[in-house]
Amino acid sequence: MTAKLFSPKEWQLTLPLAFFLHLFYIAPLAVLLASSFQQAVGVPGFSLAQYGEFFRDSTNLKVLTDTFLLGLQVTLACLFFGYPVAYVYNRVTGIWKSVMTFLILLPLLTSAVVRTFGWVVILGKQGLINSALQGLGIIPEPVKLLFTHHGVTIAMTQIQLPLMILPIVASLSQIDSRLLAASASLGGGAWRTFWKIVFPLTLPGIISGCLLVFAITVSSFVTPSIIGGGQIMYMPTLIYQQGVVLLNGPFAAAISAILLVMVLAVVVGLSILGQKSRTYIR
Amino acid sequence: MDHYMKRRTFLGGSFATGLALAGLNACANQSESTVDGSQSGAAQGGRLVAATYQGNWEEAHRKILVPAFKKATGADVTLVPMFAVDQVARLQAAGATNSPFDVAILDPGPLITAPKDVVLQPFPAEVSKNFKDVLPRYQNAGGSGNWGPIIGLQFVGIAYNPKKITTPPTSWADLWKPEYKGRVGITNMSSTLGTGWMVEIAKMHGGSEADLEPAFKAVKELVPNLAAVAPNLGALGTLFQQGEIDIGLHNLSSIALLQSKGVDVDWVIPKEGSYAFGASMHVVKNPANVELAAAYIDAALSTEVQTAMAEAPYYIAPVNKNAPLTGILAEKIATNFDDYEKYIYQDWETISKKRNEWIERFNKEVTV
């Protein structure tokens, strides 16, 4: 009887969350979008002036492309460093599995602010990297890493890495080991088996990892603002500057909307790729 | 098989998403935990929510002002550390009947551009018994309108690392010296410190509060020397601490605090003079309890609190005429209150007219 109560209308189970999201996410988002169409602060009405102003200014466009570039670089770097870790994680057993779980999750266990300050110490002029390279005689002068785009990319990669590794681990763990045995018995070498069997089967995990890393990187504020200093601007720092420092709400809302569109475009693009990858697996 | 796999993929994905959200939450908590309590706290009787600056101000207020206020009123205080610009933005976003805190602490830049009649209400000076002891110049921080008193002064000069720069600098022009290539630190114009500095540089080259054109021109020539452009004063202090910069602008109290922590840094007044600006306290629009908010500001003005704030390691210059000038303040700034008059007080009313435009221009033009 009780089982029947829900079974015909399972979708009702999503109602609490749907209600919650509408109230606290969709509604504020609507307010945000509405205010981005204001002519100026406190002037109601519909106008594309804020968007026009954004795209007219080459500095803003540079911020937009820099943000996209940051997302792309961090995503690729996470994939490059994360995939091998996920692969090894899937192979180890026993105590090493627990150790690796802990190590992979470690970046998520400390706060973003603490991690970021750690990177400030490492990347600084007298920091770990520069003093090591100088001590070894590789570089005569300290390399400028702090307050640069590269510095932000390095720190963000470390911070986002778990978000790439975990989905890949999830899809690696589902690969039927008999497939690998079959490949080997048919004469496939280790690399060929990897590229023909393992890698394609983990594409869904790679794509969800990329989605997470990209979306969170381009919208993160703490790390880019501390490592980037007062100079390197990304979309979130620009939103903060316009909304909080200059009290220019409508323009900040328009920048937020543009950032949202960029993230959505990437999400849609990767989802299509995900669909394609699934047909490829079949 | 296929269906099963998809579900697993989905589960894996959701697991990762959950983790991501947990991570995000942790980040969000960084800023939110500070306002925690303000939601419930603001409305309760006998409890006040007061904004304060991060760092030494928060520590000084927790150790000196809060106990004094408790003694005077019996009420409790929740301190909310926040930049002045964040305070104004939050007050504006929260609306006039729902303020997230009762007392704001601002400096000239954010104060002058804030929509004061929306986010603040006039300070009831008549109920403040310590208000009359405040030196007249500092009784009204917003210029006109009685928005609240200045509670402490900052003096800006040249900060430098005496270990690396053996001849003390004497002028703002020294920052342009070729030997300081890649060693100079400044802040951008979002901070009061940075805006004030640009005004001083403009004045050196024939400009004024209304005309920063000469300053923009000069700062472009400074770019090769710049190691960093910090977003705020706190970040600039950290740069001295980490040896990222050897010379720059800073205020005396922050530098004195760094010195007390063993950082190699010293502070001098350039021959162009030191510009002073005040931190001011304000009752926000429709606070939970006006009397308590006024009493908190009154406590901040009291001789007892002003004296303690002026001592080591905070050295916030007092505005109460009964507070003694001692220690590093007496040594570097003033032995009596008449000496305060020799400092530069910039015309923020004029600066405010173009400040937003300048902030944007600075961020676009001054890139290291």
Nearest to A125 among B13, B17, B244 (CB): B244
| Bridge partners for B78 per DSSP | B49
- Do the Cβ atoms of A163 and B23 come within 8 Å? yes
CA distance B108 to B278: 7
- Do the Cβ atoms of B368 and A147 come within 8 Å? yes
Parallel, antiparallel, or unpaired: how do β-strands B150-160 and B103-106 relate?
A: unpaired
Q: Residue B76 has what DSSP assignment? A: E
Task: Reply yes or no on whether the pLDDT at B294 is more than 60.
Answer: yes
A234 to A64, A222, A265, B110, B248: CA distances (angstroms): 7, 11, 18, 23, 26
Chain B positions in Cβ-Cβ contact with residue A111 (cut-off 8 Å):
26-27, 29-30
The tally of CA atoms less than 13 A away on the side-chain side of residue B332 is 23
Nearest to B230 among A171, A230, A247 (CB): A230
Q: Please return the burial class of B184, using the count of CB atoms within 10 Å of its CB with bins 0-12, 13-18 and 19+.
A: buried
The per-residue pLDDT for B37 is 37
Task: Reply yes or no on whether the pLDDT at A230 is more than 80.
Answer: no
- Of A8-22, A97-111, B55-69, B223-237, the poorest mean pLDDT is in A8-22
Shortest Cα distance, chain B CAs vs residue A185, angstroms:
23
Task: Reply yes or no on whether the pLDDT at B219 is more than 90.
Answer: yes
CA-nearest residue to B368 within chain A is: A231
Give the model's confidence band at A4: pLDDT under 50 very low, under 70 low, under 90 confident, else very high: low
The per-residue pLDDT for B5 is 43
Nearest to B16 among A167, A230, A278 (CB): A167
Chain B positions in Cβ-Cβ contact with residue A245 (cut-off 8 Å):
85, 190, 359
Shortest Cα distance, chain A CAs vs residue B3, angstroms:
12
Number of structural domains chain A divides into: 1
Q: What percent of chain A has pLDDT over 90?
A: 53
- Do the Cβ atoms of B235 and A230 come within 8 Å? yes
The per-residue pLDDT for A116 is 86
A229 compared with B334, residue with greater pLDDT: B334
Give the count of Cβ contacts less than 8 A between chain A and B: 127
- Virtual torsion, Cα B266, B270, B275, B279, nearest 10 deg: 0
The per-residue pLDDT for B108 is 92
The Cα angle at residue A137 between residues A136 and A141, in degrees rounded to 5:
120
Task: Reply yes or no on whether the pLDDT at A153 is more than 90.
Answer: yes
Q: Angle, nearest 10°, between helix axes B233-241 and B252-260?
A: 40
pTM of the model: 0.82
- Look at residue A20 and tell me if it is in a domain: no
Task: Reply yes or no on whether the pLDDT at B29 is more than 60.
Answer: no
CA distance A193 to B147: 74
Q: Which residue has the tokens 């001011």?
A: B280
Kindly provide the b/e burial profile for residues B270-302, where b requires at least 16 CB atoms within 10 angstroms of the residue's own CB.
Answer: bebbbbbbbbbbbbbbebbbeebbbbbbbbbbb
- Do the Cβ atoms of B231 and A244 come within 8 Å? no
CA-nearest residue to B188 within chain A is: A230
CA-nearest residue to B367 within chain A is: A231
Could you please report the per-residue DSSP string of A100-150? Answer: HHHHHHHHHHS-HHHHHHHHHHHHSTTSHHHHHHHHTTS-SS----TTSHH
Nearest to B19 among A108, A246, A248 (CB): A108
The per-residue pLDDT for A143 is 87
Closest by Cα among B41, B52, B122 to B87: B52
- The mean pLDDT of B164-191, rounded to a whole number, is 94
Length of chain A in residues, anyone? 282
The per-residue pLDDT for A281 is 63
Q: For all residues of chain B together, what is the average pLDDT?
A: 86
Give the model's confidence band at A7: pLDDT under 50 very low, under 70 low, under 90 confident, else very high: low
- Do the Cβ atoms of B12 and A170 come within 8 Å? yes
Kindly provide the b/e burial profile for residues A50-72, where b requires at least 16 CB atoms within 10 angstroms of the residue's own CB.
Answer: bbeebeeeeebeebbebbbebbb
CB-based contact B276:B192 (threshold 8 Å): no
Q: What percent of chain B has pLDDT over 90?
A: 68
The per-residue pLDDT for A109 is 86
CA distance B31 to B238: 20
Chain B positions in Cβ-Cβ contact with residue A163 (cut-off 8 Å):
16, 19-20, 23
Shortest Cα distance, chain B CAs vs residue A62, angstroms:
10
- Do the Cβ atoms of A162 and B364 come within 8 Å? no
Q: Is CATH 3.90.1300.10 the right assignment for the domain spanning B38-153+278-335?
A: no
| Bridge partners for B249 per DSSP | B158
ipTM exceeds 0.85, yes or no: no
- Do the Cβ atoms of B26 and A111 come within 8 Å? yes
- Do the Cβ atoms of A170 and B5 come within 8 Å? no
- The string of pLDDT tens digits covering residues A39-85 is 877 777 788 999 999 999 988 999 999 999 999 999 999 999 999 99
Chain A positions in Cβ-Cβ contact with residue B356 (cut-off 8 Å):
246, 248
> Taking chain B, what is the end-to-end CA distance rounded to the nearest angstrom?
56
- Do the Cβ atoms of B229 and A113 come within 8 Å? no
- Do the Cβ atoms of A112 and B92 come within 8 Å? no
- The string of pLDDT tens digits covering residues B317-349 is 999 999 999 888 999 999 999 999 999 999 998
Omega into B313 within 30° of 0, i.e. cis?
yes
The per-residue pLDDT for B94 is 87
Nearest to B20 among A127, A146, A212 (CB): A212
CB-based contact B169:B158 (threshold 8 Å): yes
CA-nearest residue to B356 within chain A is: A246
> What would the two tokens of residue A238 be?
């620009």
Three-class SS of B217-282: HHHHHHHHHEEEEECCHHHHHHHHHCCCCCEEEEEHHHHHHHHHCCCCCEEECCCCCCEEEEEEEE
Nearest to A246 among B2, B26, B359 (CB): B359
- Do the Cβ atoms of B235 and A174 come within 8 Å? no
Task: Reply yes or no on whether the pLDDT at B11 is more than 70.
Answer: no
B145 compared with B174, residue with greater pLDDT: B174
The per-residue pLDDT for B41 is 38
Kindly give, in sequence order, each residue whose CB lies less than 8 Å from that of residue B153, ignoring residues fewer than 6 positions away. B138, B276, B277, B278, B279, B316, B317, B318, B319, B340
Give the model's confidence band at A121: pLDDT under 50 very low, under 70 low, under 90 confident, else very high: confident
The tally of CA atoms less than 13 A away on the side-chain side of residue B293 is 28
Chain B positions in Cβ-Cβ contact with residue A105 (cut-off 8 Å):
19
- The mean pLDDT of B301-327, rounded to a whole number, is 93
B100 to A86, A271, B32, B298: CA distances (angstroms): 45, 41, 12, 21
Nearest to B20 among A163, A241, A243 (CB): A163
The per-residue pLDDT for A282 is 57
Q: Which domain holds residue A176?
A: 46-281
List the CATH number of the domain containing A181.
1.10.3720.10
Shortest Cα distance, chain A CAs vs residue B30, angstroms:
8
The per-residue pLDDT for A280 is 66
Residue B344, helix vs strand vs coil: strand
- Do the Cβ atoms of B88 and A247 come within 8 Å? yes
The per-residue pLDDT for A6 is 52
- The mean pLDDT of B184-188, rounded to a whole number, is 93
Nearest to B5 among A174, A225, A243 (CB): A174
Chain B positions in Cβ-Cβ contact with residue A230 (cut-off 8 Å):
187-188, 190, 228-232, 235
- The mean pLDDT of B47-74, rounded to a whole number, is 93
Nearest to A245 among B26, B85, B242 (CB): B85
- The string of pLDDT tens digits covering residues B251-290 is 999 999 899 889 999 999 999 999 999 999 999 999 999 9
CATH of domain B154-276+349-365: 3.40.190.10
CA distance A242 to A64: 15
Give the model's confidence band at B38: pLDDT under 50 very low, under 70 low, under 90 confident, else very high: very low
Q: For all residues of chain A together, what is the average pLDDT?
A: 89
> What residue spans of chain A are helical by DSSP H?
2-6, 15-21, 27-36, 49-56, 58-91, 95-109, 112-123, 128-135, 149-172, 177-185, 190-193, 199-201, 203-218, 222-227, 235-240, 249-281
Task: Reply yes or no on whether the pLDDT at B28 is more than 60.
Answer: no
- Do the Cβ atoms of B12 and A233 come within 8 Å? no
